[in-house]
Amino acid sequence: MDLSFVVNQVLTGLAGASSLFLVASGLTLIFGVSRIVNFAHGSLFMLGAYAAVTIYGPVVAALGPAIGPWFAMLCAALAVGLVGVAIEVLILRRLYHAPHMLQILATFGIVLIMQDAVVLIWGYDQIVGPRIPGLRGAVTIFGLRFPQYELFMLFAGPAVFVGLWLLLHRTRWGTLVRAATRDREMADILGVDQAKLFTSVFFLGAALAGLAGGLQLPREPANIYLDVRVILEAFVVTVIGGLGSIGGALLASILIGLLQAFGILIFPKSTLVLVFAVMAIVLMFRPWGLLGRPEPQTTSDLAETKAAPPDRPYAAHLVVAVLAVLMVLPLFAPDYIVKLSTQAIIFGLLAFSLNFIVATGGILSFGHAAFFGIGAYTAAIAVKNYGVPAGAALLAAPLIAGVVALGVGWFIVRRTGIYLAMLTLAFAQIVWSVAFQWVELTGGDNGIVGVWMPGWASATGAYYYLTLAVCGTAIAVIWRAVFSPFGYTLRAGRDSALRCDAIGIDLRRHRVLAFALAGTAAGLAGSSFMFLKGGVDPSLLSMDISADALIMSLIGGVQTVVGPLVGAAAFTFLKAYIMPLTDQWRLVLGVIIIVLVLAFPRGIVGFVNARDWFSRTVTRSPIPAVEERTA
Amino acid sequence: MSALLEVTGLAKSFGGVRAVRDVSFSLNRAEMLAIIGPNGAGKSTCFNMVGGQIRPGAGSIMLEGENIAGLMPRQIWRRGVGRTFQISATFMSMTVRENVQMALMSHHGRIRALLPLANRLYAEEAVAILERIGLADRRDQMCGVLAYGDLKRVELAVAIAHRPKLLLMDEPTAGMSPSEREALMQLTASIVREEGMAVLFTEHDMDVVFAHAAHIVVMNRGAVVTVGTPAEVRDNSEVKRIYLGGTLEAAH
Amino acid sequence: MGEAMLKITGLNAYYGRAHILHDVDLTLGRGEVVALLGRNGAGKSTIMKSAMGLLSGRSGRVEFRGRDVGALRPYRISRLGLAYVPEDRRIFSGLTVLENLEVGRRAPADASKPWTPERLFDLFPNLGERRDQDGARLSGGEQQMLTVGRALMGNPLAILLDEPSEGLAPIIVEQMARAVKTLKDEGMSILLSEQNLYFAHAVGDRAYVVDRGRIRYEGRLDEIMANDEIRRAHLAV
């Protein structure tokens, strides 16, 4: 590597860092005051790109090539800022005191809605952006040509940083924002209207995302995959930098930018793995990120989060009745229904195992798909590459998932809340990128196909019974675990870590074991799913699967034992019947999520239980009610 | 007989501020020792160092001849120390009985069992403890709906479940009515008498302190002002000054 | 006593299930300095938080300048002219002394002379020397001055001072007492909670003795100072 090449890579890396910073700064700014991790931030970026590309032509025609391009991007940014305001006022404002899981799901719902909205408005095809007049050429640096626009981008990030810094440190508004970031309630006491302040912060944060989207246009076309890619990058940057820290975001952007520029030379295939690995390493040594600080205490009210108990074991006859229906289902139901039911049972196990750690253990995982996928891939590879008998692969794959979960759990369960959720997401993305990039082993994008159960077991009915037996047993084990000393201890840890410690419980080890148990169960769901579909591809490891599992719990009722099972069934059949009717399944799902989060956070079972329609079920407190105190 | 608990030269600083310096005292079996002092005197810090919630900066904490300074709370618990917290730390999603059962399951090493039903394990033992504490009639109520005074008693029941040698009580009667206070302390005293358990407690209510403590450690600004019997402490002029505040000639 | 600035009637407050305040009645007159006396945990802070709208679990009536403020958010109450200085000070870390003051700044409701950082630095000279330092890096006494100053920047008509002398060195306590007297001379109404009877006596007119969530006694501070029985029963050793 000669010097000019290194310099060129450094500049490329820094230009990338600039672009990362533009997105991450808005995300971290919003998190700072609202403590909400906004999954929709990437969607706002995408929206900015589409908005800019749409108005670019007319605006440039009207104002000329000198001012036109910049004015178009500015207008797009402002428009996106207004969308951000709408999101804050209509949805997020009601969730400031809600559990992290509901906040994450609500913003994820916005992601889904925006994906379909963009498709509806602009279609599936990518739209190639303009090249800015005056910045189309290249400059020669150390003998290598470097695009002018990249050079411009290289300065855009630092310029925005300086602007933000001045805004936050040299204006009254900035002082109030920083004060509210440290202690919302004290700012309130001093007469600061938080609602207005938060809305203005959302405007700025969203506008920054929109601006970043517009500025990206000369580098890549506006397309419908921008949102997920950008949000993952922005998460990594903000988490490494420290949630809420603008300076940290800049530092982390530079780190990641350079890592991508040079990593691609050393490991051409694994920059994603490299990026997420760096994130994991940083968090191990600095749990709050490079420049972050521990979550501040935001309220002086002593009222603790209401921790719901699981409902008592359900009346045996109810369980028997459901089992009886399941046993005879293939005798009268068409194949299609039986297949769907098989899938519902599998997803039931996935959601059930996730809810075990989320609701009982207070371990909010947003990466459960990792273990589902590992189970599926392990089984497929075992059968395809090593000739392992299908039955053995079905049962052994979960053990591999469990061992991986044990290792991952060992260092993530020390964290709590939102950091834990983001760490699990990061881990799932590492696994996803391995599956995507290690083509020799995993088949890359195409995955592995044609892996079926042998002979009799491949028949729809037979595989249904097999799944019912195997996954049903796993569900029964976890169900029992909820009420066993193991589950009680896990719940005790969620209720009061302090008390656990003072009665001799090694909580961390316990949480790791629970994480491994849930991972094993997810692995079994994964291997079962693989044989149902006869193959596997990276989509099984995607964020969508992790989110779906959480959504199933939400639909059924997070704080209930059967909720995830009911939710999985409802979700599976709803999806199967709505999807053929509309091209906008994501939009429908997004709306469902948001309505549930805002209006029915207890889910179906929680709703039924609270009504006390069946005297056998016990009325229990739901997830903490959303208090309107900050609104 | 040597003392059950022997604290020597205990010290702790937070960010350069010396919260506790050179605190020494000892506690015999079947004795109640109170630590008192105004807010910010370092009582809680001292207390949490004995319980393991805060790691001591210096000094030793000998429990039956073994130095427990710097051990984890759960290791200290295993050596026979139970404790209650100022803001009661109970498992809010469990019933009163299940809270005690949790402590018993941990004591018997059963917390990782996957198959038994937790609320059937050590149920009788738990009820017996609750009867001792006078909470048997509340055994099936959720902790989340209990009155404050009852929660404090749940804390006590959980803390004594593994029959500790030493019980640490941080502000056991805070927020209780006078009659509840007296009842709780009578109960504690009777447990001390019958089981030979030693109690170290902090308390704001001087009536409670003077009525029940055999010895009192008075702290102010991180240091021990005096150690003595209630009578000795009551007559100490330094203690009076601390409690009623200094005169403010300059301000008049 | 004059016109009531703050009037609390039948206040009950709860933390979860715990009933903390029982039927508290209390009045703070215009230009008056009133002390809430009582031990730790007696309910003094809870009274102040309730008045400021910081507690969700409460019933009863809180009137400020004749207006029912029970349903208002803290920032609305603050803008009506009631300031609150919390016991734990809650300085904004990462913000300088001047910036901390800036957060509290609000134009006065009437034509009175507004508080400026310079005027505050006359009242608390130590703060002036540290104006560009991170508020979190100040000593305990300086933080207490800053938190009082920050409240004053809102040009309030009345101020709730929670334990202003707690944990402070004697010389700082004296400074704080002088400051309270200065404010009183300027016509500020002040409700302060105290465990230090001498401090309360040095600055206050009247006092309420609070114990176990109830008002046990109300009277002039001279009387309370002279009454051994009350002192022993509700206040200290």
Q: How many Cβ atoms from other residues are within 10 Å of residue A506's Cβ? A: 16
Q: What is the pLDDT of residues A551-590, one digit of tens each?
A: 999 999 888 888 999 999 999 999 999 989 988 999 999 9
Residue among A453, A467, A458 at smallest CA distance from A391: A453
Specify the pLDDT at position A306. Answer: 44
At A296, is the pLDDT very low, low, confident or very high (cuts 50, 70, 90)?
A: very low
Q: What is the pLDDT of residues A68-102, one digit of tens each?
A: 999 999 999 999 999 999 999 999 999 988 888 89
Report chain B's mean pLDDT, rounded to a whole number. 88
Query: B83 CB near a chain A CB, below 8 Å?
Result: yes
Q: Contact at 8 Å (CB) between A493 and A505? A: yes
What's the CA gap between A202 and A459, in Å, rounded?
A: 53
Q: What is the pLDDT of residues A584-628, one digit of tens each?
A: 999 999 999 999 999 988 888 877 776 544 433 333 333 333 222
The answer for residues whose C-beta is within 8 angstroms of residue A2's C-beta and 6 or more apart is: none
What integer is the mean pLDDT of A449-472?
A: 92
Specify the pLDDT at position A514. Answer: 97
CB contact under 8 A, A495 and B90: yes
Q: What is the pLDDT of residues A334-350, one digit of tens each?
A: 999 999 999 999 999 99
Specify the pLDDT at position B118. Answer: 92
What integer is the mean pLDDT of A104-118?
A: 95
Specify the pLDDT at position A618. Answer: 36
Per-position DSSP letters for A612-624, written without gaps between them: T-STTSPP---SP
Q: C4-86+155-235, which class in CATH?
A: alpha beta
The Cα-based distances of A328 to A201, A212, A344, A461 in angstroms read: 57, 56, 16, 10
- CATH number for region A3-285: 1.10.3470
Portion 104-143 of C in contact with A at CB < 8 A: 104-106
Report chain A's mean pLDDT, rounded to a whole number. 88
Find the range with the poorest average confidence among A503-517, A523-537, C53-67. C53-67
Query: B251 CB near a chain C CB, below 8 Å?
Result: yes
Q: In this structure, what token pair is assigned to residue A380?
A: 């497929």
Given the cut 0.90, state whether the ipTM is greater than it.
yes
User: Between B89, B106, B162, which is nearest A498 by CB?
Assistant: B89
Residue among C192, C135, C132 at smallest CA distance from C165: C192
Query: C93 CB near a chain A CB, below 8 Å?
Result: yes
Q: What is the pLDDT of residues A136-170, one digit of tens each?
A: 888 888 888 889 999 999 999 999 999 999 999 99
- Quick one: what percent of chain A has pLDDT higher than 90? 66
Query: B175 CB near a chain C CB, below 8 Å?
Result: yes
Amino acid at C126: N
At A315, is the pLDDT very low, low, confident or very high (cuts 50, 70, 90)?
A: low
Q: How many Cβ atoms from other residues are within 10 Å of residue A171's Cβ? A: 11
Q: Return the higher-pLDDT residue of B43 and A301.
A: B43
Q: Contact at 8 Å (CB) between A371 and A546? A: no
User: Between B73, B102, B110, which is nearest A492 by CB?
Assistant: B102
CB contact under 8 A, A303 and C75: no
Which residues of chain B does C18 touch, with a Cβ-Cβ cutoff of 8 Å? 147-148, 175
CB contact under 8 A, C212 and B178: yes
Q: What is the pLDDT of residues B24-49, one digit of tens each?
A: 999 999 999 999 987 778 888 998 99
Instruction: Check pLDDT > 80 for residue B2.
Output: no
At B19, is the pLDDT very low, low, confident or very high (cuts 50, 70, 90)?
A: confident
Specify the pLDDT at position A628. Answer: 28
Q: What is the pLDDT of residues B156-213, one digit of tens each?
A: 999 999 999 999 999 888 767 677 788 889 999 999 999 889 999 998 778 888 899 9
What's the CA gap between A290 and B170, in Å, rounded?
A: 37
Domain boundaries, chain A: 3-285, 307-542
Which residues of chain C does A179 touch, with a Cβ-Cβ cutoff of 8 Å? 92, 95, 99-100, 103
Q: In this structure, what token pair is assigned to residue A544?
A: 């969508």
Which residues of chain C does B246 touch, with a Cβ-Cβ cutoff of 8 Å? 170, 173, 196, 198
Q: Calculate how close chain A gets to C104, using CA atoms only, in Å.
A: 5
Q: Calculate how close chain C gets to A295, using CA atoms only, in Å.
A: 13
Specify the pLDDT at position A611. Answer: 57
Specify the pLDDT at position C151. Answer: 96
User: Between A485, A495, A504, which is nearest B93 by CB?
Assistant: A495
- pTM of the entire predicted model: 0.87
Please list the rounded mean pLDDT of every run of 10 residues in chain C (237 residues): 84 80 94 89 89 89 94 94 93 94 89 88 91 89 94 95 84 90 94 88 93 90 84 63
Domain boundaries, chain C: 4-86+155-235
Which residues of chain C does A189 touch, with a Cβ-Cβ cutoff of 8 Å? 52, 54, 74-75, 78, 84, 86
CB contact under 8 A, C18 and B247: no
What integer is the mean pLDDT of B216-240?
A: 88
Q: Return the higher-pLDDT residue of C166 and B219.
A: B219
Query: B15 CB near a chain C CB, below 8 Å?
Result: no
Q: In this structure, what token pair is assigned to residue A590?
A: 């997004």
